[in-house]
């Protein structure tokens, strides 16, 4: 297999390092990842400055890598469009330090890198170790190794990635799950600097809004199970589409209101 590895923790983070070494015997490994931590970068891309790239200098003959001073999505774009000699068979983003469950996938640089992969037609998997305390990536690596042959045999649906979260310790098993719903409370920590000026630190405590739903990734990880969630990038609400078409607005009748909006004076006025 030709495998592209990336992450949002930085190219020399422990998670991607142990994964890179473990996967060398599976085929050609290419590593393209940020030069530093880019957690919570989401799907941002760099468009207002040039991107700098340098060789990572890995010693293995089976691995080639590049360090990018950009976001995870930048790394995947560069890899697929400029750096890799051929399109990879698989993209793995991770192993991330910390969970990427529920609605947090919308903020996650790890998941966004995998999304960039499937946008470009590359089967993609995001893998996270759901803890920040004394991380041991052994179970996560073993699980990825076990998953690879199945990924080679099966076909992921177009536009769908697998988001995998590994609980700390010895897992009780694995569950196929759906995304949970997480909201953060006490998000903003307001502080004062030595000069008396206010600044804000983004923090917050996660609140599981589906705490009673046994099928979510949040619940699975909390109960000690590996969660495997198929995530698709099509965010369209198809059920509501039909109701929306029946709204009594002019455009629903293939018309459009003409003239000036009621109650609004659109006359341009010279500004002082």
Q: Which residues are annotated as a binding site for a divalent metal cation?
A: 8-9, 39, 96
Known binding-site residue numbers = 8-9, 39, 96
Strands 188-192, 28-34: parallel, antiparallel or unpaired by DSSP?
A: unpaired
State the Cα–Cα distance between residues 121 and 229, nearest whole angstrom: 19
H or E element in which residue 6 lies: strand 2-6
CB-CB contact of 23 with 146 (8 Å)? no
State the Cα–Cα distance between residues 25 and 69, nearest whole angstrom: 28
CB-CB contact of 232 with 159 (8 Å)? yes
State the Cα–Cα distance between residues 8 and 142, nearest whole angstrom: 21
User: Where would I find the H helices in 120-171?
Assistant: 138-153
Q: For residue 92, which of 146, 34, 19, 168 has the smallest C-alpha distance?
A: 19
CB-CB contact of 163 with 40 (8 Å)? no
State the Cα–Cα distance between residues 44 and 156, nearest whole angstrom: 25
State the Cα–Cα distance between residues 154 and 162, nearest whole angstrom: 13
According to DSSP, the residues that pair with 2 across neighbouring strands are 28
Phi, psi of 173 (to 5 degrees): 150, -160
H or E element in which residue 33 lies: strand 28-34
């Amino acid at each position: 297999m030709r495998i592209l590895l990336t992450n949002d923790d930085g190219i020399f983070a422990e998670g991607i390092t142990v994964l890179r070494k473990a996967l060398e015997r599976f085929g050609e490994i290419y590593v393209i990842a940020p030069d530093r931590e880019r957690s919570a970068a989401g799907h941002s891309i760099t468009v207002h400055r040039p991107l700098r790239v340098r060789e990572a200098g890995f010693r293995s003959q089976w691995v080639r890598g590049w360090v990018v001073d950009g976001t995870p999505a930048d790394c995947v774009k560069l890899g697929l469009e400029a750096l890799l000699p051929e399109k990879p068979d698989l993209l793995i983003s991770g192993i991330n330090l910390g969970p990427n469950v529920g609605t947090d996938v919308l903020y996650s640089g790890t998941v966004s890198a995998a999304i960039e992969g499937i946008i470009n037609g590359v089967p993609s998997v995001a893998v996270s170790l759901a803890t920040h305390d004394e991380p041991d990536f052994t179970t996560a690596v073993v699980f990825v190794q076990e998953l690879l042959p199945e990924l080679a045999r099966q076909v992921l649906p177009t536009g769908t990635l697998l988001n995998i979260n590994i609980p700390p310790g010895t897992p009780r098993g694995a569950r196929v799950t759906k995304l949970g719903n997480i909201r953060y409370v006490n998000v903003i920590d307001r502080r004062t600097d030595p000069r008396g000026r206010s600044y804000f630190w983004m923090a917050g405590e996660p609140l599981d809004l589906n705490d009673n739903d046994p099928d979510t990734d949040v619940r699975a990880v909390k109960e000690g199970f590996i969660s495997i969630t198929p995530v698709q990038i099509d965010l369209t609400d198809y059920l509501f589409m039909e109701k929306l078409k029946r709204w009594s607005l002019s455009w629903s009748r293939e018309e459009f209101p003409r003239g000036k909006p009621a109650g609004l004076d659109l006359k341009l006025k010279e500004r002082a």
